[in-house]
Structure 1
């Protein structure tokens, strides 16, 4: 479950809590003074969700297209913009909403597997758009200036590289299945793998001890992946946990077993 605090539609000075369940495709909301939760949406395949200025937005898969939709407050015309299909098949792309510089950005990531000799490699391409909420338009963005984006499906961030010298400006940090930390330069279009020299296991067994101190990029990308962050693990080390890490797996299961979520009434 994920949740966000929004400005309640019933009163400007009140708040609402909106929660969504990725695997059941249900979005619910609760406003102050109301006795129960209310089902806001059903059956939506949500790709990326962003709270922004008291409202909640998401990229949504609708048939063969992708749209940006306002989840809360509910609107008679919730679809704000249609995502351009510049990369071909939308199912081969990832979509991320992120707030940067006081505006909503949409990052579209296209990943293709190619082969060079016998070694396969992956080619990354990104397109950035700024969402004009009032006009319902997506405006192409070619430069992030002094900012860098950290993207994941659970949480995305925009940070000022001027305040973090180890972070590259005008870049996008993200993760792939086998490469937990990758940085993509918007200016050159080149992607660099940052976690190759600090992998602690080969998928089966430990191959080296933890490489410390961790970089700022490691910490920020871990924050964007709450599954590891809430457990006190670093994402680039534990984005996958081999079966041989028996003690760690046992400790995680023991902590998870202590979690109790009470049932709530939903109308």
Structure 2
């Protein structure tokens, strides 16, 4: 009896392993036949891009932002078409405020960057517009997966990406947490001066400590020279521009 029980136990293990192996093969087969794609996100700006023409030269009429896509499954030996759509809540107009020329995952690639051409339109001086892109189904890909639970409706998952465009000088999202201790209270006048002196236009990304020390020294020195020649610099709020 004991031998029969042992034999049945071993048989059940073998059958279970066979079923798991079969299921695994079936899942892998389905996975390979069902390629999917999603937006790749980063630590900085994980679900959005904010672009302002105001940080650049006045004669710049168009520029480029980038969307990054990654596939689920294996790379293919041919180019494959990516499909996205703009949500109805978007305020930026395709073909007028932005344009995406080609949405393709290149052959043998797992990831690609797609350019979005942004246009400097007169209305952007007085407004901030946005478009929320959503992964759509194409002949080659289905939408990937959502990494955000339903409870976090205020965040965008890996199937959505938000692009904001304006011609206003916006306060960087990390100013209060990262920049205020070294550069003081934000004002557009101060921020524009910082951009002109340092040549840096992207202040939302990580800044190496050595670079930040150089920027602080540079803007203080430049402001001192400005005041010697012109007197105090006054911002749009009527306050004197100072650096701590």
Both proteins in one fold, TM over 0.5: no
Higher percent of residues as strand? 1
Higher percent of residues as helix? 2
- Alignment TM-score, normalising by the size of structure 1: 0.26
Compare CA radii of gyration and give the structure with the larger one. Answer: 2
Pick 1 or 2: higher relative contact order, CA cutoff 8 A, min separation 6: 2
